[in-house]
Amino acid sequence: MTVRIQTGGVLPIAILAVTKSGAPLTGATDLFIRVFRRSDNFFIDWADNTFKASGHTTINQILAEVDATNAAGVYEFAGDWDTSTIVSPVADDSYVIYPLQTPGTNAVLPGPADVLTGEFVDDIDAAITSRSTQADILSDATPFAGANVDAAISSRSSQASQDLLLDAIVANDLVVGAGSSTTEVRTGATQATGFYDDMMLVVINTAGTVARVVSAYNNTNGAFTVATLPFTPAASDRAIVIALDQAAAGGAPSVGAIADAVWDEDVVAAHGTSDTGGLLLRALGTLI
């Protein structure tokens, strides 16, 4: 059997002792354990909790019977083994515990058990921030640069890169001026007339935030003509122009553009099949 405990942890130790016929062994007073550590194969001296190569005062630790009636054959290290009392322990060491009988020979005992200490179990109850250092997770040389999980976003993205991203998205950040209406948002914009046509205008008002496509921009009053807003923009509202050309991006065509496309369609070639409007128009054309 192998178990792992935290550094300095307390380890309960109990064994089941049986007779050679397999019956629980009760009333034994000569059952013990010995412990050696794998780092140097020294055995612990229970008199001073020090691992030694020789010169032990108490190399055997007595095991006490738990309950001959209700737990027949079970013996334990009374009070458990507190590994924090070990003198000069070796970090992340492992111990081998094996039971023995002396001087008797009538007990059949379990084999040795390995006890591993430290390593990852020491982190189980640690605060995340104490374990999520750059070295513990990833380094800046990895594809996921700056992977400290509790770091502020600003510490992982330079101001220059943030500014560049904003510049690519926001064409202008304006303040709404007086005289605006639900279809015309006046600002302090000074670009030439038509500069912001087909871009997106976001108006931030106390009633809410609304986005509209700019149908026309005029340099006079920095005015943006938009579809009807659900409120009249107030002076000092924010008006943010998003650098997205709706026409270039495949935005919705105007009513006029749709009408032109319908009348310019080749109804004979494309719509001359049975029961279509194109066929009817073709028939009317032959009568004119």
Listed by start position, the domains of the chain span 2-122, 127-156, 162-242, 255-287
The CA-based dihedral angle spanning residues 260, 262, 263, 268, taken in that order and rounded to the nearest 10 degrees: 150
How far lies 123's CA from each of 5, 7, 11, 131, in Å? 11, 10, 18, 7
What's the pLDDT score for residue 146? 46
d(CA 43, CA 61): 12
CATH of domain 2-122: 2.60.40.10
What's the pLDDT score for residue 277? 60
d(CA 163, CA 106): 82
Q: For strand 50-52 and strand 43-45, is the pairing parallel, antiparallel, or unpaired?
A: antiparallel
Helices (H), the chain: 128-131, 159-169, 255-264, 267-270, 277-287
Residues 151-181 have pLDDT tens digits of 555 555 566 666 666 667 888 999 999 999 9
CATH topology of domain 162-242: Elongation Factor Tu (Ef-tu); domain 3 (2.40.30)
The burial class, CB within 10 Å (0-12 / 13-18 / 19+), for 25 is buried
Q: Give pTM, 2 decimals.
A: 0.47
Quick check: do 2-122 and 162-242 share a fold?
no
Residues 75-101 have pLDDT tens digits of 999 999 999 999 999 999 999 999 999
Residues 17-56 have pLDDT tens digits of 999 999 999 999 999 999 999 999 999 999 999 999 999 9
Helices (H) then strands (E): counts for the chain:
5, 19
d(CA 12, CA 71): 16
Q: Which one, of 91, 1, 81, lies nearest residue 35 by Cα?
A: 81
Q: For strand 2-5 and strand 71-76, is the pairing parallel, antiparallel, or unpaired?
A: unpaired
